[in-house]
């Protein structure tokens, strides 16, 4: 019994494992297991480890309660009620059956452990994703785009130039920071308030207080509105036109 002090609960995978170990340790045939002895041994052990992690211990306590129940039945004088005469025997049978079933499984776990160890020695690579297929432009999940990107860039550059000259002129520090979301809202409000359905991108930029940061935010806002299908962007001669598709709050 001394050795049980050195046994760690964490060495067992559960209360059945511990029970099995105790039976094996006593070198007794499971068919001859004295449940009274086994219960006492188990309870004694559980008492010692009670201060352990309650999460783990709780599983063992359920088994302890079960064993106490069996033990109580074993200790009560026989002639209680006729109907219950087989109860004790049934419980013993049930526990032994469970232990047997558990033992059968326990016996083959080494097979799985060995197979696992062997399997972990082989390395493989994830499935290769092959990207050869080119998607045709007309199959892209986007609306057809007729905006000349060079034109778009020119407007952007012109705006930057303007921005520079304006800053030079006024020579003030602007600290206003506006997010693209706010600008998007402003653009929508502007179009709705003035009851216009389209505006030139350049004019839209004119409306804004100039700074590089503001300019980038405005471009982002325009792209965001387009991606949400609130506005469409198309090119008309030398201008990029922003068209209000639908009104959102």
Q: Which residues bind another protein (CB under 8 A)?
A: 13-16, 23-24, 27-31, 59, 62-63, 98, 100-109, 111-113, 115-116, 118-128, 130
Nearer to another protein, 81 or 111 (CB): 111
Q: What angle (nearest 5°) sits at the alpha carbon of residue 218, between those of residues 231 and 211?
A: 160
DSSP 81-92: -SGGGGHHHHHH
User: Strand pairing partners for 239?
Assistant: 236
Nearer to another protein, 38 or 222 (CB): 38
Minimum separation from the CB atom of position 133 to another protein (A): 15
List all residues 6 or more positions away from 142 whose beta carbon is below 8 Å from its beta carbon.
Answer: none
Minimum separation from the CB atom of position 108 to another protein (A): 5
Minimum separation from the CB atom of position 99 to another protein (A): 9
Minimum separation from the CB atom of position 12 to another protein (A): 9
Nearer to another protein, 29 or 194 (CB): 29
Residue 12, SS3 per DSSP: coil
Nearer to another protein, 123 or 168 (CB): 123
């Amino acid at each position: 019994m001394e050795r049980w002090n050195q046994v760690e609960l964490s060495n067992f995978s559960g209360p059945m494992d511990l029970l099995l170990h105790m039976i094996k340790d006593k070198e007794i045939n499971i068919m001859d297991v004295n449940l009274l002895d086994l219960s006492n041994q188990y309870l004694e052990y559980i008492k010692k480890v009670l201060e352990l992690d309650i999460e783990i211990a709780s599983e063992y306590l359920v088994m302890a309660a079960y064993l106490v129940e069996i033990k109580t039945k074993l200790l009560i004088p026989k002639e209680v009620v006729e109907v219950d005469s087989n109860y004790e025997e049934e419980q013993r049978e049930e526990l032994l059956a469970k232990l047997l079933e558990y033992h059968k499984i326990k016996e083959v776990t080494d097979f799985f452990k060995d197979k696992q160890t062997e399997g972990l020695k082989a390395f493989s690579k994830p499935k290769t994703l092959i990207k050869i297929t080119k998607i045709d432009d007309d199959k892209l999940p986007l609306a057809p785009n007729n905006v000349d990107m060079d034109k778009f860039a020119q407007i952007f550059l012109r705006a930057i130039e303007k921005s520079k000259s304006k800053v030079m002129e006024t020579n003030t520090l602007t600290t206003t920071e506006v997010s693209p979301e706010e600008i998007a809202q402003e653009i929508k409000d502007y179009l709705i308030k003035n009851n216009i359905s389209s505006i030139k991108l350049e004019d839209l930029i004119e409306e804004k207080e100039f700074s590089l940061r503001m300019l980038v935010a405005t471009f982002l806002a325009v792209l965001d509105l387009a991606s949400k299908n609130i506005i469409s962007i198309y090119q008309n001669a030398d201008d990029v036109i922003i068209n209000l598709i639908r009104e959102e709050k």
